[in-house]
Amino acid sequence: MTRWQCLTVSIATILAVSARAAAPDAAGTSESVTARADGKVTCATRGVAFDQLEQADGTTAPFDVPAGKAFLLADAELQVEGTPGHSIYVALESAPATSDKPLADKTGTVEDSGLMTKGFVFKDQVTVGSGGGVCVVAVDVTAGLRPVPVHGVLHGALARVQ
């Protein structure tokens, strides 16, 4: 990773921590959460699910947005495996899909290491409703939109729906 990429990741992390701190609902009753996508559980339509809730004791549990709550997204950190030099498109999508548009998307180039890291910081409130979840889709644009392995972390807060 170059010095500029490290700086970019550091700045994105600082912004993400600030965004997570500012995410509670109006009553201040939100609960910070971290969800992981390890690439093992696929979504109904395409991509892999952020299906694991990272708990305070370091263990994981199944994750979806519980009844009566909404998931307020703060940031995401994704790592994609691919062929060095290839262009990769990565998108975060709600599951089930609530729109034809992704929650966020980016395109980048795979480094010589065979990895591409992308971060997202949600400045505007992005919410996934009760019973829903988030999927990540990654395709190799250079190789004709072939799906590629992806995993990542999604930070946010669960807030009561009022």
Overall average pLDDT of the 130-154 stretch? 95
pLDDT over threshold 80, residue 74: yes
Q: Where are the beta strands (DSSP E) in the chain?
A: 31-37, 48-49, 52-54, 60-62, 69-81, 87-95, 104-109, 115-128, 133-140, 146-147, 150-160
How many domains does one find in the chain? 1
Mean pLDDT, the chain, rounded, equals: 83
Overall average pLDDT of the 27-39 stretch? 82
pLDDT band at 64 (very low <50, low <70, confident <90, very high): confident
CA distance 99 to 130: 16
Smallest CA-to-CA distance from 137 within 36, 35, 44, 48 is with 48
pLDDT at residue 46, as a whole number? 87
At 71, which CATH number? Answer: 2.60.40.4070
What residues form DSSP beta bridges with 42?
Answer: 48
The domain of 18 spans: 3-160
pLDDT at residue 14, as a whole number? 33
Overall average pLDDT of the 127-152 stretch? 94
pLDDT at residue 29, as a whole number? 61
pLDDT tens, position by position, 81-116? 999 999 999 999 988 877 788 999 999 999 999 999
Tell me the whole-structure pTM to 2 decimals: 0.78
For residues 48 and 151, the answer to whether their CB atoms sit within 8 Å is: yes
CA distance 92 to 105: 6
